[in-house]
Structure formats: C-alpha cells, structure tokens
Amino acid sequence: MDTLNIEKYGFNHTGNIFRNNPPGALVEKALLNKEGRLSRAGALCIETGERTGRSPDDKYIVDTPAVHDLIAWGNVNRPVSAEVFDQVYDQMIQYLNDKDLYIFDGFAGANRKYQYGFRVINEKASQNLFIRNLLIRPKKEQLKDFKEDFLILVAPGCKVDYKKLGLNSEAAIMINFEKQIILIAGTGYSGEIKKSVFCVMNYLLPQKKIFTMHCSANMGIDGDTALFFGLSGTGKTTLSADPNRRLIGDDEHGWDDNGVFNFEGGCYAKVINLDKDSEPDIYNAIKRNALLENVTLDENGKIDFADKSVTENTRVSYPIDHIKNIVRPISSAPAAKNVIFLSADAFGVLPPVSILTPEQTQYYFLSGFTAKLAGTERGITEPTPTFSACFGQAFLELHPTKYAAELVKKMEKSGAKAYLVNTGWNGTGKRISIKDTRGIIDAILSGAIKTAPTKTIPMFNFEVPTELPGVDSGILDPRDTYADASEWETKAKDLAERFNKNFVKYTGNEAGKALVAAGPQL
C-alpha cells in the first residue's frame, strides 16, 4: 500500500489512504460513510455539526522569533507557544492514525510565480471534496512531482484538551509559519480550511510586495477589471457573477505589477434565500460535484433555500468552471480600473453609491464597515456595526496599514477609481433591491456614473449621483427614503461617531491623522 510518505509527518498509519480522488469517488465514499445525502440537483449535502461558521476565538498563530515582529498580535492573531502547537499536533496524529485518510494536493495562486502548494489531509471525504473544489487542481504532471509548501491536518472529530493547554475550546485552528503546518481540530466547518490558506497567502505575499485582497473580481469584454471588497453577506459573490462579464474569482485575490490573479480554483457562496432569477449563475452551479452545507432537503432531496433552521450561513462550494462565464485559461486579468467597497448598512444611513476621493478610499478601506441586522444572529437586538480593516481583518496577519498602503500604490499606478456601495438598508426599512444594486454596479463599470449629475451628502461628505440608468432615483440620496429627514440625521450622527471612534486606532502617526478629515465630520 502506498503511504505517500506520510510517515515523515509522524504517522504510524493503519487505515486506507485516498489521494486526489475524483469528485465522484469522494461523493460515493461520503455517502457510504453517512456524511451526507444527495440533493435532487446532484450536489452532496452535509451538516457541519455544532459549528456552522468560523470560530475566530479558536484561531492561533504560533509565536516564534522568526515571525514575532511581523505579526499584528491581538484579538485576530492570538499567539500560542510552539510547545502547545506540538501537543495538539501529536494528538491529531494519534487520532488520525487508524482512520481512512483523504489527501488532496493542490495549489493556491493562479499566478505561477506566486503559487504555493498545499497538502490537505482530511478524515472526511466530504471535506476533501470541499478543498478539491476550492484549491487549484493540479495537472497529472504536476501531481507526479508535487511537493507541498504547507501541510494542513483536518480532524473534526479530534477534540483538543483545551483546559489543560490553556486554549479557548475543544476546537483549535493553529498556523505555524516556521514549520509550515496548519492544524484544524474539533470543527467540521470547512470554511476554516479555505480561510487558513488565505491567511498564509496574506502573510507571505505582502512580503513580496503583492497586494492580497478579500474581494471578488471580474473582467469586461474590453479587459477592464473590477474588484468587489466586502465581508460575508455584502454581495461579493452575487455581484461578481455577472452574465455580461467574466468571473476571475469570488473571494481571494492578489494584485502584482502585471495585474490581478485569483488564489482559488472554486467558489464558496452563501445560499440562504437563493433565487434562481436574481442569482442564476450560483443557482445553476449547484449540481453534481458541488457541496452544500447546512441546507435543508425534503424527503425527495429538494433544497429549501429559505430554511435557516440549522444556520443562516448556509453555503455551497463548487469548482469555478461550474460558472460558464469565467476568465480562461487561468484566473488572472489586467490591473483593476474600478474598486468597489460593499457595505451592508443596517442603520439606513449610507447612500447606495458614493464616489470616493483617494483619501476617502483609504479611510473606508481601513474602516471596513458593514452591519448585522437585528435577528440575524442570536443576541443581536439592534443594528450592530462591524469594522473589519481592509474588509477582511480576520484573515490578515500583518498590520492593516501595510495592506492599505499597497492598495494606494496599485490604484495610483492603474488609475483606478473607488466607490462605496451600500447593499444594505435605507429609510424604507427594506434592503436595497438586487435590481437597483446591479444597476449601480453597471453604471460604475460602464462609466455612466462619471457623467451623472451629483450632490454632496452632509456629515459624510460623500459625492453621490442624483440619477443613474436603471436605478430608482428616489433612493440615491438616503434622506429621501425617510418620511422625516431628521430621522436620517439622528442615525447618521450615531454612525459617524462609531466610525470616528473606530478610526482612532489608526491615528498614531501623521499619515493616519491626515486621513481623519476624509471621514465623517460632526
């Protein structure tokens, strides 16, 4: 039996090993192992267990002299000792020794110059299918000579002895940059694997002057590239899947001197309330070889996209070629011309679209604002602001200002323009329609917004268009959506104060202080 030399990791393995199995074989094994069931659409459907989303409080970076001065330590990047890491590693190896193992060897980074190899070892066939969908799949000749840069061990059934080790819970996500190993124990949520890879890219590539981005990206027929930054639920995946443009990728990208490139070989989309007419590309991607997480199936295997009884964070992963209109042969494109920040504002304050100055671009990129609506999460009883630097602070190992500085350099070189697009709510109490948001995006990408008449919104000093093709002009100034405009002003003051309070942490130097003027002025 070929052990694929896993003894070098410390294994004394007695089970079967399956390496880079085709998706059909992985689905078959998952069904035999009772990991899930098939939907009528042909996609495998699983539940991730107790954890239906990422566990940020359980993520750790191994603190060693080689990385200590580079990492932005804090709530996002919690330090853990090499000794504790080694104990969790040994526990996982012992746990996996008698299990059937599923190995996937693949790449992150469509640009070969900045590509890294990842070997992922799973205890579940379904999670191996997940990472097969998300990483770039190697060709036969590449697989023959494959050598990983990072090893990822994934064992949902392995619960760490957290009290003894001084950790937060039975789950642990640990990244050891010195040993080039990632451990994911005690959680069945597959997004942890994907985002751990992203964290590695966010650590390595900026040191090579590559701007790494939590964004989706697409390209028009004239080769114009657009980036869509945003946190979960703001519309990154939905808005980049445009039948009139070619998709580069839906979540993770790099920007070097030659242009933009995808890190991944697939997509990971939210499917709560997925509508065939509003999001046809994602809807049609849910077919054989796709993997659904935490959605509800009836007895006949029909998907109920509206059911959030397990979680509101229902998901699907699929290979990028499940989308018809993609950039080929590799997911890369010229430098961006349009940079779009997506913010789902539950306060009803931000305009549907704002044309940003260079200073506002830096301010709102570092702010990374979105908001959670009351009722969307347990314990959320009022609109709750979330400020996540660079629209992805949870995945940034370096200080946010380092990423912001690279954005400025890249945009100045390409002549890109930035826009803040609110995909959330306004004074009507309803979420801004996908139709209107798509109309706004179309106006940005076609250049129509550049010739539109504009006005300035007070307090935030946003320049906003007063009319755009295919967009309800009654929503472009958010004050017009309130029966009483003074209600907007009250909410705007509250939100402005939150922005200002959040931005204080960036005012420790002259550059940060200078950006304060680009933020809300009370």
Task: Tell me, yes or no, if 317 is annotated catalytic.
Answer: no
**Of 191-205, 245-259, 347-361, 377-391, which range is least confident?**
377-391
> Tell me, what DSSP letter sits at residue 491?
H
378 has a pLDDT exceeding 80: no
Question: Which alpha helices (H) appear in 10-115, and where do they start and end?
Answer: 23-32, 82-96
For residue 236, indicate whether it is catalytic. yes
Predicted TM-score of the model (pTM): 0.94
Q: What is the mean pLDDT of residues 176-189?
A: 98
Q: How many whole angstroms separate alpha carbon 448 and alpha carbon 195?
A: 36
232 tagged catalytic: yes
Q: What percent of the chain has pLDDT over 70?
A: 97
The active-site residue out of 13, 29, 51, 54 is 54
* Sequential DSSP letters for 49-90: TT--S--GGGEEEE--TTTTTTS--SSSSEEE-HHHHHHHHH
Catalytic residue among 190, 234, 237, 343: 237
- Tens of pLDDT, residue by residue over 66-78, are 999 999 999 999 9
CB contact at 8 A, 399 and 375: no
Neighbours of 492 (CB within 10 A): 22
Look up 112 and say whether it is catalytic.
no
Q: State the catalytic residue, choosing from 232, 311, 414, 437.
A: 232
Does position 419 have pLDDT exceeding 80, yes or no?
yes
Structure tokens at 199: 């964290």
Pinpoint the alpha helices (H) of 215-273.
236-240
Bridge partners of 247?
A: 218, 326
Alpha-carbon distance 148 to 5, whole Å?
Answer: 12
- Cite the DSSP H helix spans in 160-310: 162-165, 191-204, 236-240, 280-285
54 given a catalytic annotation: yes
- For the question of residue 68 being annotated catalytic, the response is no
Instruction: Give catalytic status of residue 63 as yes or no.
Output: no
pLDDT digits (tens, 9 = 90+) for 36-47: 999 999 999 999
State the pLDDT at residue 377: 41
pLDDT of residue 198: 98
